[in-house]
Amino acid sequence: AFAIEPVPGSITYGGAQPRLEQAPAGSNFFHTFHLNGTEVHEIYKVNADRTVSLVSRSMSND
């Protein structure tokens, strides 16, 4: 499987490595933002070390 590359607006864009201390490892969460007039929906997974990985992205025009 190929890694999904972050885009401007992604939580991990620019090499950011946020840690979610309160979220249970293995859980997923959603992140929605707009990029150049397109609505972007991303799904992230919380890893065992509390970092996050981008696992899915879909885009739709408003």
- H helix or E strand, kind and range, residue 28: strand 28-35
Distance CA 31, CA 55 (A): 11
Domain holding 43, by residue range, is 13-61
Q: Say if 42 falls within a structural domain.
A: yes
For the whole model, what pTM was predicted? 0.88
Q: Say if 1 falls within a structural domain.
A: no
CB count within 10 Å of CB 50 equals: 14
What residue type is 43 in one-letter code? I
pLDDT digits (tens, 9 = 90+) for 14-50: 999 999 999 999 999 999 999 999 999 999 999 999 9
Average pLDDT, the chain: 94
Q: Say if 34 falls within a structural domain.
A: yes
pLDDT of residue 62: 61
Distance CA 51, CA 25 (A): 9
Number of domains in the chain: 1
Q: Say if 7 falls within a structural domain.
A: no
Distance CA 47, CA 49 (A): 5
